[in-house]
Amino acid sequence: MELLGIRQDKDFIQLVDFGGTRKDLKLLARYAAEPVIGQDYGTWVALDRPLTRFLILTDAENSYRDAAERRRQRKLLLDSLTVNIPPELRRDLYTNRRRDRVVEIKTWGSKPFEFAHFTDEQLADAVSGIARAPHPGGRAGLISAIHTERVSSSPDIEALRWHGRGPLRKTDLADAMWHLLEVRIKRAIARGNTGPPIMKGVLRAYEMASVSYGVRRALRRH
């Protein structure tokens, strides 16, 4: 966000680490984005605060593994945050028009974050820098192991294990690889394109926040 010049104050965009793709986010969605009903004008009802939108950026696994499951999760989240809204006022909140979505779920594609953003060679070099002991097969063996994991049904960089490797935390891996991602993002900015998946996700967050920021909304009766 800082690299893209996006404001980071919490009343505009608030980031939450939701703890993995097995977590149930219904209560979080309700807490963060539940509309507050205001004055009733008959055919429409005012909201007492600007509409808050809820964007999930995640790996395509578990509860978000495919398009059908993501649609199901989106409906569950919408059901949760509209539980106190009269049924005749809910339709506008369920719209799937890009500009008006209240809840959206985006993945990096079919692969987890690290595989979606970096090559086998880049991952091997970063993992080697973090590991306490070298891979027994050397750099070539580690690249091969990473590729095997990439093409597996459930790729996971943390599944790469060898004697003496030590902990391999994804946050440490992210820190080690940030400079590569930074170069790609700066290149995308210079060329005027949307760049890697994480950049697309952050730009979408900015777009969703900007649509609602400081704007009073109302819900129509249907």
- In the chain, domain spans: 26-112+197-220, 118-191
Question: Does the pLDDT value for residue 216 go beyond 80?
Answer: no
- Could you tell me the pLDDT band of residue 22, with boundaries at 50, 70 and 90? confident
- Could you tell me the pLDDT band of residue 98, with boundaries at 50, 70 and 90? very high
pLDDT for residue 7 = 85
Question: Does the pLDDT value for residue 158 go beyond 80?
Answer: yes
Instruction: Give the pTM.
Output: 0.89
Question: Does the pLDDT value for residue 217 go beyond 90?
Answer: no
pLDDT for residue 149 = 96
Q: What is the 3-state secondary structure (H, E, C) of the chain?
A: CCCCCCCCCCCCCCCCCCCCCCCCCHHHHHHHHCCCEEEECCCEEEECCCCCCEEEEECCCHHHCCHHHHHHHHHHHHHHHCCCCCHHHCHHHHCCCHHHCCEEEEECCCCCHHHHHCCHHHHHHHHHHHCCCCCCCHHHHHHHHHHHHHCCCCCCHHHCCCCCCCCCCHHHHHHHHHHHHHHHHHHHHHHCCCCCHHHHHHHHHHHHHHHHCCCCCEEECC
- Percentage of the chain beyond pLDDT 90 is 75
